[in-house]
């Protein structure tokens, strides 16, 4: 079942998300040092059943889990509040045979991990990482072609806009109580040479919807988090 094609959860007791879409948001770009990432990895991979040494959680998994937990806390959601994390998975090497190395263009699938706020906030960080990995591991050749066939059989794509598009009341909304965490960590964004010297800054051009979160690399190997949240939910988070 492709839950990524469904409607993201609403706040408990609400019939729609129109009020949430209208609330004022603010943006921050937060540094994430190598030490901070290493600390998150250590906490997540300690696990409740001993260290996760053979298949440790990745940088994306631990940072996304931490952001999801932080958002649930700052939004002060009910413990039983359904919530989801939306993200994208590169499928180039998940196809059989894989796409050729010189293939240009996007080759990603939108993925959704769902849970309840109480589980995200109270269980160990590794449990949330496991929930994210569970969805990532579903993305195999069979799943990808199932997704492709779904789109090929759609006669009207209007209800299924991109994960990040939230301008219409009919578009998927990954704001409160949900969040979207997209990774650009492996993109070579500091390598292009446009002929006028070394880049000074790399960041998102538009980033103003509640729940938008983008992970970007920094030249020294650390990372930064570009995140947009409702103004009422940002004080402790930022």
**pLDDT (average), residues 78-105:** 93
User: Distance (Å, rounded) from C-alpha 9 to C-alpha 87?
Assistant: 15
**pLDDT (average), residues 16-27:** 92
Domain boundaries, the chain: 23-188+203-233
pLDDT at 164: 44
Alpha helices in the chain (DSSP H): 18-22, 34-46, 59-74, 117-122, 125-136, 141-152
Statement: the pTM of the whole predicted model exceeds 0.75: yes
Reported as a pLDDT band with limits 50, 70 and 90, residue 236 is low
pLDDT per residue over 161-187, tens digit each? 554 444 455 567 889 999 999 999 988
pLDDT per residue over 192-223, tens digit each? 788 888 887 788 877 789 999 999 999 888 99
Strand arrangement, sheet containing 179-183: 25-32, 223-230, 212-217, 179-183, 82-90, 108-116
Identify the weakest region by mean pLDDT among 1-15, 23-37, 159-173, 214-228: 159-173
pLDDT at 160: 57
Report the first-to-last Cα separation within the chain, whole angstroms. Answer: 36
Output the CATH code of domain 23-188+203-233.
3.30.559.10
């Amino acid at each position: 079942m492709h839950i990524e094609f469904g409607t993201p959860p609403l706040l408990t007791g609400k019939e729609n998300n129109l009020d949430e879409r209208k609330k004022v948001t603010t943006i921050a770009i937060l540094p994430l040092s190598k030490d901070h990432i290493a600390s998150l990895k250590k906490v997540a991979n300690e696990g409740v059943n001993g260290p996760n040494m053979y298949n440790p959680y990745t940088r994306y998994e631990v940072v996304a889990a931490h952001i999801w937990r932080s958002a649930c806390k700052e939004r002060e959601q009910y413990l039983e509040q359904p919530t989801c994390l939306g993200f994208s998975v590169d499928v180039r090497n998940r196809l059989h045979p894989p796409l050729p190395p010189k293939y240009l263009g996007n080759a990603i699938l939108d993925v959704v991990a769902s849970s309840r706020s109480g589980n995200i906030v109270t269980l160990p960080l590794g449990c949330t990482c496991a929930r994210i990995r569970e969805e990532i591991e579903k993305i195999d050749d069979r799943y990808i072609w199932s997704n492709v066939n779904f789109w090929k059989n759609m006669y009207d794509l209007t209800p299924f806009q991109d994960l990040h598009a939230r301008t219409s009341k009919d578009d998927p909304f990954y704001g409160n109580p949900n969040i979207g965490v997209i990774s650009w960590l492996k993109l070579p964004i500091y390598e292009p040479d446009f002929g006028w010297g070394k880049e000074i800054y790399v960041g998102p051009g538009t980033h103003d919807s509640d729940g938008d979160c983008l992970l970007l690399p920094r030249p020294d190997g650390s990372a930064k988090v570009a995140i947009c949240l409702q103004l009422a939910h940002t004080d402790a988070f930022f």
